[in-house]
Each structure stands twice: as C-alpha cells, then as structure tokens.
Structure 1
Amino acid sequence: MTHKVPDTKQNALNCLCPVCPVYNECLKSKEELLFCSRGSTKCEFEKWGCKCVRCPVAMEYNLVGLFYCEKGAETK
C-alpha cells in the first residue's frame, strides 16, 4: 500500500532530489524538491539516473514508480 507523503521539513531533509542526476540547474535555482509530495515541476530535465527507488522518503512511504518530478505527486 502506498501513502501520500506529508510535505514536511523532515521529509525535505531526507529527500534525495538534490543528489539525483535529474536535479539540474533549473531545479536547483528554484530549490524544488520532494516531488513525491509537492507534485511536478515546470523545469525541463533529462530522464536518466533517477534515484526515487533508493530515496529514504520513497521507502518510508512505500512509494512505487519513478520520476515524480515529471508525473506528479504520489496520491494513493
């Protein structure tokens, strides 16, 4: 069972977005992270090396899938 991720400071600290290969200059400049909770971005990015499956937040909330930055927040 998957769970919606609370948009909290602690989850933001545990988020792997800043060390993900997908996390480019556009995402950095907007300080966008925790896509599994906050939803998608308007930044363009290359889909490669996604670390969602190894993210402590994704593991804690039993999230499935990849590229939350593209597909939007986990809502189940």
Structure 2
Amino acid sequence: MDMYTNEFSNDEITVTYEPSVCIHAEKCAKQLSNVFRTSIIPWINLDNAETNSIINQIKKCPSGALKYHKNENKKAS
C-alpha cells in the first residue's frame, strides 16, 4: 500500500495535514486554491503563494487539520 506523506515544505515553513481531523469545510481550497488544490497530488503546493498568505489561511482551518511551523534552517537569500 502506498503511503503519501502529509508534510509539505518550502524554505520558510513546513505544513502538516491530518486527514483524520479534517472536516472538509474546504476553506483552504476555496480561499487559497493556488496552494490547496483538491484535484492534484500533491494537493498542497507552497510555491504558489507567499508564506504569510499560507500561514494566514492555515489559521482559518476550522478543524485544525492544517498546521505549520517555521523552518529553523532558512536558506540565505
């Protein structure tokens, strides 16, 4: 059985998704569809928006299925 990871990272943050917690309100996909894409695997693409926009959207998740943490080893610009 294939297991898909539910952790997505860019240089600044790592986003985790817990499908068993998700209530499928679809706020993420409706409000930031360029990042949270329900018809594509992997369904989260952190390169499609600024990190602050992604963080703000994660904070709106009604179930708490989406979480994030800032990466400690951010690459130098």
Q: Specify the TM-score bucket, using the shorter chain as the normaliser.
A: 0.3 to 0.5
Query: What TM-score, normalized by structure 2, do the two folds share?
Result: 0.36
Higher-Rg member (1/2) = 2
Structure with the bigger percentage of helix: 1
Structure with the bigger percentage of strand: 2
